[in-house]
A and B are shown apart, each in its own frame.
Chain A
Amino acid sequence: MERLTDIITLVGAETVRAIAGLIGVLIIVVINAILLTWAERKVAGHMQRRIGPKEVGPYGLIQPFADTIKLLGKELLVPKDVAKPLYHLAPILIFIPVLVSFIVIPFDTHLQVKDITMGILVILAFSSLSVFSILIAGWGSQNKYSLIGAVRSVAQNIAYEIPLLLSLLAIVFMTNSFSLKTIVEAQKGTWFVFYQPIAFLIFFIAGVAETNRTPFDLPEAESELVAGFHTEYSGMRFALFFLAEYTNIFIVSAIATTFFLGGYSGPVLPGIIWFFLKTYALVFVILWFRWTFPRVRFDQLLNFSWKILIPLSFINLLVTGGILKL
């Protein structure tokens, strides 16, 4: 114990906190991806009244590990004529914003890597970076499907970033703070979803679109674009894109939980359990969407954002501001 305090004083508490945070974040990312690959197939199965994975381990729980071993064992193919630096950079780059977003998410009263006063801006700024890596992946792959997927992704992400931001801004109006922890503390009485149902709806729709999930999965529409921007990626490089997608789903659900569903606050059970319960309930809804809704057409996708969601979120913001001023 003395040695530990010695080490902490030597390298500084902040460094220790950062390293511990990074390790914790990586653990959450991996466990979440493992859980979601399993859950997605299980939910898909049961929604089609099948069973889903069941052979590897009890209820197929070991299936994600088997998949990981398979992906690790695969040859890393690099297609001819790809833009090499971009092609190699994209799968790594897609991962950085995902990790950064975890820094500000409060899992429990004291369980947060760092409470930044501009917390939500960090998440929004970094999550818009993931578009960049998708564009790089599509551009570098030397494949028309990848390129079309990437271009679609950029158009979609730009369109849906705005309502996402505006819906969160309504909450910032109410709490006068960008810090996620302050926002959670402000919801001790009533969850903001009851004050801001429209903002919640807009945020959730835009969040599903941001993570490229069905019904907004045009960048990777398999019936038209093979696999979209990650068509040319195989093995672990593909796995990184996959990991990033599942982590993004978690982040969107976690932010929705933090902003609208009271975050870690809840009776009886410890905060972290409440946080994960709420988050995974929202994750389930996203999976539920995938196995219910058909994909939208591209013009419908953009029209929906520019003509409905953005005006609606502006009106919501205006009304919120007006009521708060009174």
Chain B
Amino acid sequence: MHNDGMWIYGWHEVFRRMKVVADIVKGAISLLVGMGVTIKAFLSPTVTVQYPRQTITIPPRFRGHTKLVADPKNPEKTPCIVCGMCVRNCPSHSIKKVEGEKKEGEKTKTVTEYILDFTTCSQCGICVETCPVDALAFSADYNPAGYRREDFHYDLVKEFEKRRTRE
């Protein structure tokens, strides 16, 4: 339809103009919806944890470095028998040294030194899985820090003793 008068629109033009108005209304509503979202967030409690002052509980399946666990029958010592399975199975040779001695009146060896090089450990868990006496587990130590790489060569026996005496 041909039109050249200023006030005479074709139907097409009328629909186009109505659509523009509808778009504006829709846009304005969407702005209000957005403001509703932010004010709801503003009024709801914060979700951040103020880390050094607050900490979250570490889930039980968290994989920190490995630790020696206490023997359920005798919490004074670990069930480790110094068999060396973990050393042999470690894919990155992170377990440097497992030493033990046979004490008087005991059937098995007792671990005296267990050196784990945590810098190369990938927390794969093969040592935990292969341990025949379930002496190993993952710790919940999530924030190890140190100044030199030797700081991450852990002696798990010493760490176990420290943990035991603290408790």
Chain A residues in contact with chain B, CB under 8 A? 43, 45-51, 54, 288-289, 291-293, 308
Residue of B nearest to A54 (CB): B50
Given the known A-B contacts A50-B48, A51-B46, are A288 and B35 also in contact in the complex, defined by CB atoms under 8 Å?
yes
Pairwise interchain contact B38-A288, C-beta atoms closer than 8 A: yes
Does the CB pair A49–B47 fall under 8 Å? yes
Known: A292-B38, A308-B24. A49 touches B48 (CB 8 A): yes
Chain B contacts with A in 1-55, Cβ cutoff 8 A = 24, 31, 34-35, 37-39, 41-42, 44-48, 50
- Residues of B contacting A43 with CB < 8 Å? 42
B48 & A51 in contact (Cβ 8 Å cutoff):
yes
A-B contacts besides A288-B35, A288-B42, 17 pairs, CB < 8 Å: A43-B42, A46-B41, A46-B42, A48-B41, A49-B41, A49-B44, A49-B46, A49-B47, A50-B46, A50-B47, A51-B46, A288-B38, A288-B39, A291-B38, A292-B38, A293-B31, A293-B34
Q: How far is the CA of A289 from the CA of B38 in the complex (A)?
A: 9
Query: Whose C-beta in chain B lies nearest to the C-beta of A46?
Result: B42
| A43-B35 Cα distance, complex, nearest whole Å | 13
- If over half of B's interface residues share one DSSP class (helix, strand or loop), that class is named, otherwise mixed; here it is helix
B contacts with A, residue count (CB < 8 A): 15
Q: A100–B45 Cα gap in the complex (Å)?
A: 41
**B35 A47 Cβ-Cβ under 8 A:** no
- On chain B, the residues within 8 Å of A45 by CB distance are 46
Instruction: Report the bound CA distance from A48 to B45 in whole Å.
Output: 10
**B46-A46 in contact (CB<8A):** yes
From B37, B47, B48, A292 is in contact (CB under 8 Å) with: B37
- The docked-state distance in angstroms from the alpha carbon of A50 to that of B45 is 9
Chain A residues with CB below 8 A from B39, complex form = 288
Q: How far is the CA of A308 from the CA of B50 in the complex (A)?
A: 47
